[in-house]
């Protein structure tokens, strides 16, 4: 159902890889709600994914950018403003990867070159993106910047590995940069801590299927889907949440506040 929530709003969406990704679903929903945007991803991810199909479907242009390159991001910001015809109202940062996870390295046996690369892509990139936007004065007042995170930033999940550290850093950047973006440009910055979701990135985590069903049994409302996350993101892009900033917002069916559920108890009785 469309409400025209984002009519006339313009933005940049990072990280749409395929139809399973939250960024992809968000792009589709933003389009349905009247928003226009530029799609961006790393050149390698663009070769792997189907981003052209999404661009066609939503009438969007694609500007490739490596999120670890300040030069690429500065160029992305200026090109996006040209394409969209002015300043930007919303940005979605939906990027994350861990080479340690991909290569099966245990948390107690990290390859630090892998750790550094993963941190650069997953966490520092959020600061880089905002710094490029900030320096170019690219955001409209009351604009909204959202990054996707996970509760492993607060609690330990054995197989989430170094991505947990990356997410903790990402959430800290949202608070720290959110202060300056709010104070000087009236722009809000938030993170959404989403349920475990079967995206390409999520499925890389060992034991993921078991974990999804555990979270489902633990959450009073069940796990939030990628589409439901897209809907939640839209509310943060809209004018209905103007005073929400520097928050880490749990979108997880109540998982984060549940000590134990009846279903889980029954498995142990």
Phi-psi region of 254 (alpha: psi -120 to 50; beta: other; left: phi over 0): left
Query: Cα 166 from chain centroid?
Result: 13
DSSP lists the bridge partners of residue 192 as 148, 249
21 is in an annotated binding site: yes
Annotated catalytic residue within 107, 150, 169, 214: 150
95 is in an annotated binding site: yes
User: In 3-state terms, what secondary structure has residue 246?
Assistant: coil
22 is in an annotated binding site: yes
- Which among 107, 142, 110 has a CA at the least distance from the CA of 238? 142
Distance of alpha carbon 147 from alpha carbon 213, whole angstroms:
25
Distance of alpha carbon 168 from alpha carbon 180, whole angstroms:
19
Told to judge if 160 belongs to the known catalytic residues of this protein, a careful annotator would answer yes
Residues marked as catalytic: 150, 160
Binding residues for NAD(+), as ranges, are 15, 21-22, 95, 167
């Amino acid at each position: 159902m469309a409400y025209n929530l984002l009519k006339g709003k313009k933005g940049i969406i990072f990280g749409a890889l395929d139809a399973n990704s939250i960024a992809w679903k968000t792009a589709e929903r933003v389009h349905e709600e009247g928003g226009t945007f530029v799609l961006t991803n790393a050149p390698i991810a663009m070769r792997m994914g189907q981003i052209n199909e999404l661009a066609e479907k939503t009438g969007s242009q694609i500007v490739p950018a490596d999120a670890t390159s300040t030069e690429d991001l500065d160029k992305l910001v200026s090109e996006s403003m040209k394409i969209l015809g002015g300043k930007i109202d919303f940005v979605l940062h939906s990027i994350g990867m861990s080479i340690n996870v991909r290569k099966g390295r245990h948390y107690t046996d990290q390859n630090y070159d892998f750790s550094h690369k993963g941190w650069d892509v997953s966490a520092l990139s959020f600061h880089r993106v905002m710094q490029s936007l900030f320096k170019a004065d690219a955001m409209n007042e009351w604009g909204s910047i959202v990054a996707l995170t996970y509760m492993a930033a607060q609690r330990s999940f054995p197989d989430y590995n170094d991505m947990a550290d990356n997410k903790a850093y990402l959430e800290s950047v949202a608070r720290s940069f959110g202060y300056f973006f709010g104070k000087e440009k009236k722009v809000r910055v938030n993170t959404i801590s989403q349920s475990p979701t079967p995206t390409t990135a999520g499925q890389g985590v060992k034991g993921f299927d078991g974990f999804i069903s555990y979270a489902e049994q633990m959450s009073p409302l069940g796990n939030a889907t990628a589409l439901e996350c897209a809907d939640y993101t839209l509310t943060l892009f809209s004018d209905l949440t103007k005073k929400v900033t520097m928050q880490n917002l749990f979108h997880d069916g109540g998982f984060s506040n549940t000590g134990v559920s009846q279903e889980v108890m029954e498995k142990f009785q």
